[in-house]
Amino acid sequence: MTENKDFKVLFINCNTMMDVLLPVGLSLISACLKEKGFGVKLFDTTFYKTATETGDEARVKNLQVKKTNREEFGLVYKDTDMFDDLRKMVEEYKPDIIGLSCIECTYELGIEMLNNIRRYFNVPMIVGGIFATFDPAEIIAEDCVDMVCVGEGEYALVELCTKIKEKQDITSTQNIWIKQNGKIYKNGIRKPVELDELPFQDWTIFEPRRFYKPMGGKISMTGTFEMNRGCPYSCRFCSDYGLNKLYANNGGYYREKTIKRLIDEMKEKKERYNLEFAYLVAESFLTTKRERIAEFIERYKEVDIPF
């Protein structure tokens, strides 16, 4: 991947505190952008003290998980000011676009971060993620937000960055709502991405300690892998209900990655990062054909780590 320093993307991962599981979405979008030669950098809130207790601490208290000693793996809080650090990164990196990834419970903090940047820098800002997909109207109304990504971001971000770099009109970019000259352009949804056509995830944007994930009372070098995307079911309490509706006229949202493609990525990442544990992202692991599960069982011997 040869990065084009002429156009740089800064992502802000506004994450819940100490939630170290690697996000597949950002990893894939970064890989797609780098594949097209764009520069990518990440500002990650994971190790800043942004709440009173972590999700794992709450689960330990409720006897849901065993207690682990995360400090011995370097999972400690940063002692610097998060807003100062972000401002410094923007100043030094000089991004051409800033993308905020957040969920509903981190959204307010994310917007505070964007407002903070806007006071000092005039950089286009886009917000994406599951909350942005379902409430783009609220987010685009924020003064600090110029664009919202609705639905999948891999190809949408590549197209958007290409158009901005080449000074083309961006107002018709699919999957993106764009605020320009007092008008909001609400673009429709593009076809879902083919999972097998995506590059392997880019984990180089994360700090090495992001790989240390508590699981079953142990902390292991853990990688996150997407096995399928979406779910064939539409339970009303789940985001997949909304995603299935959003993509209903566009081929549907649920897709499966071929086992060969999944295993190839797992083997490459295991070797490169000395993984000891695999976390498979699948909304419903067994909702597939028996043949596919049988193939997974057979081929997984090549990976040979707990999952």
57-61, 143-147, 189-193, 268-272: which has the minimum mean pLDDT? Answer: 57-61
Share of the chain above pLDDT 70, in %: 98
pLDDT tens for 31-88 read 999 999 999 999 999 999 998 888 888 888 898 888 888 888 888 999 999 999 999 9
pLDDT in tens, 157-174: 999 999 999 999 999 999
Q: What are phi and psi of 12, to 5 degrees?
A: -110, 115
Q: Does residue 1 have a pLDDT over 50?
A: no
pLDDT of residue 2 exceeding 60, the answer is no
Q: How confident is the model at residue 5 (pLDDT cuts 50, 70, 90)?
A: low
- Percentage, residues of the chain above pLDDT 90: 85
Q: pLDDT tens digits, residue range 214-242?
A: 888 889 999 999 999 999 998 999 999 99
Question: What is the predicted pLDDT for the residue at 152?
Answer: 97
Q: How much is the pLDDT for 66?
A: 86
pTM of the model: 0.94
Q: Max CA-CA distance within the chain?
A: 57
Rounded-to-integer distance, Cα 203 and Cα 215, Å: 20
Beta strands in the chain (DSSP E): 4-13, 38-44, 97-101, 125-128, 147-149, 176-180, 183-186, 212-215, 218-226, 228-229, 255-256, 277-281
Three-class SS of 154-222 = HHHHHHHHHHHHCCCCCCCCCCEEEEECCEEEECCCCCCCCHHHCCCCCCCCCCHHHHEEEECCEEEEE
Strands (E), 86-169: 97-101, 125-128, 147-149
Superfamily grouping for domain 4-186? Cobalamin-binding domain (3.40.50.280)
Kindly state the DSSP code that residue 97 receives in the 8-state scheme.
Answer: E
For the chain, the domains span 4-186, 202-302
Mean pLDDT of 14-35: 96
Residue 3 predicted with pLDDT over 80? no
